[in-house]
Amino acid sequence: MIGRGRRLAACLGLAALVLAACGKKGPPVAPEMRAPLPIADLTGAVHASAIELAWTPPNRRVDHTRLRDLAQTRIFRLEDGGGAEPKSAMLVDGRIVGYREIASIRADEPAPVVARGNRLVFTDRQALAYGRRYTYVVIAGDSQGRVGPPATRVSVSYVPAAEPPVNLVATPGERTVRLRWEAPARLLDGSAPTEALAYEVLRAPAADAELTPVTRVPVAERALTDADLENDRTYYYAVRAVRVVAGTTAYSDPSPRVAVTPRDMTPPSPPANLVGIASEATVRLSWSPSPERDVAGYVVYRAPEGGAFERIGSTTAPSTTFVDRGVTRGAFRYAVTAQDSAARPNESRRSNEVRVSVP
């Protein structure tokens, strides 16, 4: 009986615990689990006389829930002479030990950070010296003051970039632009390049629009053909030199922009089966249309027997007939061409000639 009583008491106690737990929330999530995820794609490169950092802001927390209140991003920097592994990024009391904070960016006032697509870009110009290595760490915090773990460090050796390329020339073609340029003669420190440079071709849809790379990687040649463009639309191009030294990529400033407009340069097929019927002071012409969809009209030519053709009129597509009135007596030759709808119309070869005698 005593054993049975003890078991019953234990069961009742367990039931009481279960009932007491009903309707209650589980244990709170630890603050560090609610902090933003670390920035995972921090990159750095030399851009002219500065170091440019870029990253994608986190949109998840450490516990993988949605982060909707990213409030602050802080950037820390360590300067050294390179060689050995840079100091580890250890977060203590909201700071990176041994690193100097160089920027604190609020989400509601993001300057001096700028957005490029889904990435944020920060430009560091603070007391940079050639030959020194700069290591960066970026951390993100939410509106509750919870700070995420440090991002992966990125180290940049500050080397002189090249001057911009010179004499950029853009030649239009049909849905293409052919570009060529000359290499810069010096680096920004006044020295001559000691290694081959690569080049990044940039394009913008308007004179004041942002330039973006045309190719996925820089090119070694000092020429490029940009294809699959839109005819009769103006594009703006620039090119910058790319120097890679000791694992650091250094970009020059872009060259001055040049504007160029690809254009349709292919004429339509000539009209066919031209027929002419003469009557008193009149010649009636008809022909088969050119098959291209961009034909805008037809041009009619006339020549005296043994003389040169002269333009005497035109029609608008899809009309394929023309009446030449007030023609004097005699023998004449006629021909027709097709013109397309390009901004600078292309004219086809002449159709077959037809000879008529006007009574």
pLDDT of 120-139, one tens digit each? 999 999 999 999 999 999 99
Tell me the C-alpha to C-alpha distance, in Å, between residue 271 and each of 60, 121, 320.
64, 57, 9
The 3-state DSSP class for residue 3 equals helix
**How many whole angstroms separate alpha carbon 173 and alpha carbon 261?**
8
Q: Is the pLDDT of residue 22 over 70?
A: no
Domains 31-157 and 272-358 share a fold: yes
> Per CATH, is 272-358 categorized as 2.60.40.10?
yes
- Is residue 117 over pLDDT 90? no
Residue 244 near residue 218, CB atoms below 8 Å: no
Q: How far apart are CA 9 and CA 224, in angstroms?
A: 87
Q: How far apart are CA 295 and CA 341, in angstroms?
A: 6
207: nearest Cα among 131, 261, 171, 248: 261
The β-bridge relationship of strands 258-260 and 282-288 is: unpaired
Nearest-angstrom CA–CA distance, 167 and 183: 9
pLDDT, residue 111, reads 85
Chain centroid offset of residue 262 CA: 18
Q: Would you place residue 338 in the very low, low, confident or very high pLDDT band (cuts 50, 70, 90)?
A: very high
**Under 8 Å CB-to-CB from 60, ≥6 apart: which residues?**
36, 37, 66, 67
Average pLDDT of the chain is 90
Give the β-pairing of 212-213 and 166-172: unpaired
Q: Can the peptide bond before residue 112 be classed as cis, meaning omega within 30 degrees of 0?
A: yes
253 phi, psi to nearest 5 deg: -65, 155
Query: If you count them, how many residues does the chain have?
Result: 359
pLDDT at 31: 58
pLDDT tens for each residue of 139-173? 999 999 999 999 889 999 999 999 999 999 999 99
CATH code for residues 31-157: 2.60.40.10
Q: Among 24-28, 140-144, 276-280, where is mean pLDDT lowest?
A: 24-28
State CA 193 to chain mean position distance: 28
C-alpha–C-alpha distance, residues 80 and 170, integer Å: 43
**CA atoms of 116 and 149, how far apart (whole Å):** 24
Q: 166-260 architecture in CATH?
A: Sandwich (2.60)
CB 302 within 8 A of CB 332: yes
Tokens of 23: 């309707």
> Of 283, 253, 258, nearest to 52 (Cα)?
253
What are the residue boundaries of the structural domains of the chain, listed by start?
31-157, 166-260, 272-358
How far is 346 from 340, CA to CA, in rounded Å? 6
Query: Confidence band (pLDDT; 50, 70, 90) for 18?
Result: very low
The span from the CA of 236 to the CA of 239, in Å, is 11
pLDDT tens track for 216-258: 999 999 999 999 999 999 999 999 999 999 889 999 999 999 9
- What pLDDT was estimated at residue 32? 62
Cα-based distances in Å from 247 to 56, 155, 160, 342: 22, 9, 13, 49
pLDDT at site 28: 52
Condensed to tens digits (0 to 9), the pLDDT of residues 261-273 reads 999 999 999 999 9
